[in-house]
């Protein structure tokens, strides 16, 4: 049984990672155009670097929760039959133990060099313009996919969604494309679709099974169901 799991901000919110939207989200007090677009970076790179440096430092104070750990446990049981695609730029899936994982919107703990396109792992700040470890230029930016940029791994993701037997959406609003279109794509190719979300979303194609509640409770329970069927 091939399973594709798509995760969004809701799965990490329970670990204390702020969501971007909502009254307490990271966009509150920041215009998206200023901190999440190439034009915003070109206009004020220091402000953008400072914004993401703060987000990167904040990762030290959060840890994977039961939902992240349950998905890692599922991968341990079924191996490559599970692909986790996350829209999140935190590293909580990685720290929980997921390995067959695509960060389609990039990673806070990576930098991207505008000179040579290297994507080195990065723990520190970028505001001081450190040198790229590959080419030596001081042109590192956050390796985060901004609005108007192409997400990572789209070909691999689409192939997996088309071929999967079960597609699961966890903690995502279903508002950001191309990720928002995956449930319809999976359904069109015959997959069973499942939503595990704090509140039901409003997809173009309804899920076969929609469950509302905390990811930390819903995801482990769903994983137990999957393992019991094997």
The catalytic residue positions are: 105
Helix ranges, the chain (H): 9-13, 32-35, 38-43, 45-58, 66-78, 92-96, 154-163, 182-188, 215-228
Contacts of 120 (CB under 8 A, 6+ apart): 110, 111, 113, 132, 133, 134
Report how far Cα 121 is from the mean position of its chain's Cα atoms.
Answer: 17
DSSP structure class, residue 24 = T
Dist. CA 90–CA 83, nearest whole Å: 17
CA distance 70 to 114: 37
Q: Are strands 140-144 and 106-113 parallel, antiparallel or unpaired?
A: antiparallel
CA torsion sign, 134 to 136 to 137 to 142? Answer: positive
């Amino acid at each position: 049984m091939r399973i594709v799991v798509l995760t969004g901000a809701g799965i990490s919110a329970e670990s204390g990672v702020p969501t971007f939207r909502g009254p307490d989200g990271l966009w509150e007090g920041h215009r998206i155009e200023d901190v999440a677009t190439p034009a915003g970076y070109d206009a004020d790179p220091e402000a953008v670097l400072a914004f993401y440096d703060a987000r990167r430092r904040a990762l030290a104070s959060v840890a994977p929760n039961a939902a992240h750990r349950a998905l890692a446990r599922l991968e341990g049981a079924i191996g490559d039959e599970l692909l986790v695609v996350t829209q999140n730029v935190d590293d909580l899936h990685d720290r929980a133990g997921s390995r067959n994982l695509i960060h389609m919107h990039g990673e806070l703990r990576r930098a991207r060099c505008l000179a040579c396109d290297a994507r080195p792992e990065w723990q520190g700040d970028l505001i001081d313009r450190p040198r790229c470890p590959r080419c030596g230029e001081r042109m590192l930016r956050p390796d985060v996919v901004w609005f108007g940029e192409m997400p990572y791994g789209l070909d691999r993701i689409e192939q997996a969604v088309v071929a999967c037997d079960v597609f699961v959406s966890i903690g995502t609003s279903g508002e950001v494309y191309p990720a928002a279109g995956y449930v319809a794509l999976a359904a069109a190719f015959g997959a069973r679709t499942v939503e595990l979300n704090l509140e039901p979303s409003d997809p173009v194609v309804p899920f076969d099974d929609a469950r509302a509640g905390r990811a930390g409770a819903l995801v482990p329970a769903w994983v137990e169901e999957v393992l019991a069927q094997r």
